[in-house]
């Protein structure tokens, strides 16, 4: 039997939604007041302290997949889904430790406004910038997954048809993003990140006490089918957990997840590198907690809740087991979690058009000055127009809802991870990494991912099981190939000029040469306002 939403839940849900919309519009207005330039819109450079940005980063990483897609996988697959839930944040935050500091420092020196822009500046390569920007358009799949998740929340908690719900979600995003850009994105995400942590704590409590069952955790496990219980680790017929090797590749792929443009952009917004350690600590602790939401999917299965779409298990769990007012509040809170990732993604994609392709590629090609005020203002308008176009396109693309959100979003981002990883990660640690190596590794690794996974997904040929149906394992293979090729080819090709490397690595390069660390690199410069 499919659960019907109680009218009281719907009533309370709309009440809470109105309050949420008012809050988002208020924060969007604050973002608008702080947005005067294209750089403000794209990066909110130096505009936030470590605590707000850490919660915003954790919220952006978690997304609708963590709060709906992964619990949906757990509902259908049982405890095996916990491998995905608990491995992916470790990989992502390990990757963050590798690249966050250098991305912030180099991005601020060159005025980089996106990860593709950072790569172009790092390697003095307009070609690499353009390639990275075009591949980053695959983020549209990620946006589609968030919009679909929002549609299910409207359908489940607010009684609004899925098709209308996705347009409502898109409209809400546009209300504050087109005006406030990255400032609005980070302000809203910080608030939503705190709410998401609180919901996760509640889900863990419900699971640990065997909510609705007698006997605690043991009763939850006993209520599952044998293939879903915690002593079943793999399933040869399930491409995501077919064997131990693909689970290892799932971890490897998520190290490269940090390279995604909507995450890398966040590093530019912190006030200074002296706050990076605190930022990374709070973000990692919060971010590793959030995937425990998968336990709600396991609990829902154990309770025997019957649903049409597994991704809706968390809101239906609340409807089934909580008072109406609580279920409504929690449902709207999860909607905020979904929005918190969608807004960052939309801003990142808008910068592909405004900054990477227009300001940094087209303008120099035509002999113009990319740093002129006229170009900057035009790029700001392109950002806002692109925000509208991208949002509308994503909504239109998911009018028919996908089966598993967690799988949909990886169809596109796996190729980004495969291409970006070598130039981004190897180039961070090995300053002699060559431009040729970066470009070749980018193209080859993306091509390998496309052959292994995208070709079969688009029905061109059957492919090699389980990689043809497992985007995580395919991305992990692409990550390894990208990093290895970047390193090896750099051994046989000409490095970038020493003067450019000095400009890129600055104090870090001198500190390495001196055998020590340049402590002045993290100190505020004269005139910096550290009181904010």
Residues across the chain:
532
Domain extent at residue 504 = 7-512
Is residue 515 within 8 A of residue 267, CB to CB? The reply is no
What is the C-alpha separation between 458 and 415, in angstroms, rounded? Answer: 14
Question: What is the per-residue pLDDT for 280?
Answer: 92
What is the C-alpha separation between 307 and 298, in angstroms, rounded? Answer: 13
pLDDT tens across 342-367, in order?
Answer: 877 888 888 889 889 898 888 988 88
User: Can you give the CATH number for the domain in which 21 is found?
Assistant: 1.20.1730.10
pLDDT at residue 7 above 70? Answer: yes
Please give the average per-residue pLDDT across 18-47, as a whole number: 82
pLDDT tens across 89-122, in order?
Answer: 999 999 999 888 888 888 888 888 889 999 999 9
Give a yes or no: residue 290 inside a domain.
yes
Question: What is the per-residue pLDDT for 79?
Answer: 92
Give a yes or no: residue 531 inside a domain.
no
Looking at every residue in the chain, the average pLDDT score rounds to 84
Which stretch of 40-54, 273-287, 394-408, 481-495 has the lowest confidence by average pLDDT?
A: 394-408
pLDDT at residue 511 above 70? Answer: no
Question: What is the per-residue pLDDT for 527?
Answer: 38
- SS3 string, 125-166, reads CHHHHHHHHHHHCCHHHHHHHHHHHHHHHHHHHCCCCHHHHH
Question: What is the per-residue pLDDT for 408?
Answer: 64
Helix, strand counts (H, E) of the chain: 24, 0
Give a yes or no: residue 52 inside a domain.
yes
Question: What is the per-residue pLDDT for 483?
Answer: 96
How many separate domains does the chain show?
1
What is the C-alpha separation between 72 and 54, in angstroms, rounded? Answer: 26
Which stretch of 56-65, 174-183, 447-456 has the lowest confidence by average pLDDT?
A: 174-183
Please give the average per-residue pLDDT across 463-477, as a whole number: 88
pLDDT band at 158 (very low <50, low <70, confident <90, very high): confident
Other beta carbons within 10 Å of 415: 26
Give a yes or no: residue 529 inside a domain.
no
Give a yes or no: residue 517 inside a domain.
no
- State both tokens at 451: 């052959």
Question: What is the per-residue pLDDT for 479?
Answer: 95
C-alpha angle 256-118-94 in degrees, rounded to nearest 5: 25
pLDDT tens across 218-242, in order?
Answer: 899 999 988 888 888 888 888 888 8
Question: What is the per-residue pLDDT for 299?
Answer: 94
Give a yes or no: residue 520 inside a domain.
no
pLDDT at residue 1 above 50? Answer: no
Other beta carbons within 10 Å of 319: 23
pLDDT band at 523 (very low <50, low <70, confident <90, very high): very low
Q: Mean pLDDT: which of 197-201, 323-327, 446-450 is highest?
A: 446-450
Buried b (16+ CB within 10 A) or exposed e, 368-407: eebeeeebbebbbebbbebbbebbeebbebbeebbebbbb
* DSSP letters for 293-330: GHHHHHHHHHTT---SSGGGHHHHHHHHHS-HHHHHHH
pLDDT at residue 193 above 90? Answer: no
Please report which helix (H) or strand (E) contains residue 61, including its range: helix 50-64
Closest of 250, 248, 242 to residue 465, by C-alpha = 242
Long-range Cβ pairs for the range 207-211 (8 Å, 24+)? 207/295, 207/296, 207/298, 207/299, 210/299, 211/299, 211/321
The distance of Cα 40 from the centroid of its chain, to the nearest Å, equals: 20
Give a yes or no: residue 532 inside a domain.
no
pLDDT at residue 521 above 50? Answer: no
- State both tokens at 391: 């949002």
What is the C-alpha separation between 220 and 277, in angstroms, rounded? Answer: 39
Question: What is the per-residue pLDDT for 404?
Answer: 56
Residue carrying the six token digits 């679909």: 148
**H-helix segments, 352-434:** 363-365, 373-397, 405-421, 427-429
Closest of 375, 436, 352 to residue 124, by C-alpha = 436
Closest of 501, 360, 505, 507 to residue 434, by C-alpha = 501
pLDDT band at 441 (very low <50, low <70, confident <90, very high): very high
Please give the average per-residue pLDDT across 250-258, as a whole number: 90
Question: What is the per-residue pLDDT for 143?
Answer: 84
pLDDT at residue 525 above 60? Answer: no
Cα dihedral 139→144→146→147 (10° resolution): 140
Give a yes or no: residue 522 inside a domain.
no
pLDDT tens across 49-76, in order?
Answer: 899 899 988 888 887 678 877 898 899 8
pLDDT band at 517 (very low <50, low <70, confident <90, very high): very low
């Amino acid at each position: 039997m499919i659960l019907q939403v109680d009218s009281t839940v719907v009533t309370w849900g709309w009440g809470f939604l109105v309050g949420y919309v008012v809050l988002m519009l208020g924060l969007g207005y604050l973002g608008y007041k702080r947005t005067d330039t294209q750089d403000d819109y794209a990066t909110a450079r130096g505009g936030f302290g470590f605590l707000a940005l850490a919660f915003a980063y954790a919220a952006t990483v978690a997304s609708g997949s963590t709060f709906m897609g992964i619990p949906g996988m757990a509902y259908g697959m049982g405890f095996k889904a916990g491998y995905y839930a608990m491995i992916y944040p470790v990989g992502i935050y390990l990757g963050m430790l590798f690249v966050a500091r250098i991305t912030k420092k180099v991005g601020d020196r060159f005025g980089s406004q996106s990860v593709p822009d950072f790569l172009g500046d790092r390697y003095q390569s307009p070609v690499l910038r353009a390639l990275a920007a075009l591949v980053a358009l695959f983020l549209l799949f990620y946006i589609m997954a968030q919009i679909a998740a929002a549609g299910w929340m409207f359908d489940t908690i607010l009684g609004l048809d899925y098709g209308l719900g996705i347009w409502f979600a898109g409209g809400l995003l546009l209300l504050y993003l087109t005006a406030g850009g990255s400032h609005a994105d980070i302000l809203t995400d910080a608030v939503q990140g705190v709410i998401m942590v609180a919901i996760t704590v509640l889900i863990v409590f419900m699971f640990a006490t065997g909510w609705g069952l007698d006997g605690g955790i043991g009763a939850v496990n006993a209520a599952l089918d044998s293939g879903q219980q915690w002593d079943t680790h793999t399933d040869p017929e399930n491409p995501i957990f077919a064997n131990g090797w693909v689970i290892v590749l799932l971890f490897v792929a998520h190290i490269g997840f940090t390279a995604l443009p909507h995450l890398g952009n966040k590093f530019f917004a912190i006030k200074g590198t002296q706050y990076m350690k605190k930022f990374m600590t709070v973000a990692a602790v919060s971010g590793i907690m959030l995937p425990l939401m998968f336990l709600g999917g396991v609990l829902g299965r154990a309770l025997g809740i019957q649903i049409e779409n597994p991704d809706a298990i968390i809101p239906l769990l609340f409807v089934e087991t909580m008072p109406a007012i609580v279920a409504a509040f929690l449902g709207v809170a999860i909607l905020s979690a979904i929005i918190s990732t969608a807004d960052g993604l939309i801003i990142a994609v808008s910068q592909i058009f405004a900054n990477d392709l227009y300001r940094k590629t087209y303008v120099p090609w035509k002999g113009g000055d990319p740093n002129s005020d006229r170009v900057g203002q035009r790029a700001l308008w392109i950002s806002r127009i692109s925000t509208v176009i991208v949002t509308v396109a994503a909504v239109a693309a998911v009018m028919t809802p996908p089966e598993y959100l967690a799988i949909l979003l990886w169809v596109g981002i796996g190729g980004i991870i495969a291409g970006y990883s070598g130039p981004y990660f190897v180039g961070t640690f090995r300053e002699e990494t060559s431009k040729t190596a970066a470009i070749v590794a980018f193209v080859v690794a993306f091509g390998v991912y496309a052959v292994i996974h995208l070709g079969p997904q688009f029905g061109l040929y059957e492919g090699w099981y389980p990689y043809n149906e497992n985007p995580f394992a395919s991305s992990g293979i692409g990550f390894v190939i990208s990093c290895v090729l970047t390193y090896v080819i750099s051994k046989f090709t000409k490095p970038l000029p020493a003067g450019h490397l000095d400009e890129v690595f600055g104090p870090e390069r001198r500190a390495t040469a001196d055998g020590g660390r340049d402590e002045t690199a993290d100190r505020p410069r004269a005139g910096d306002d550290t009181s904010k």
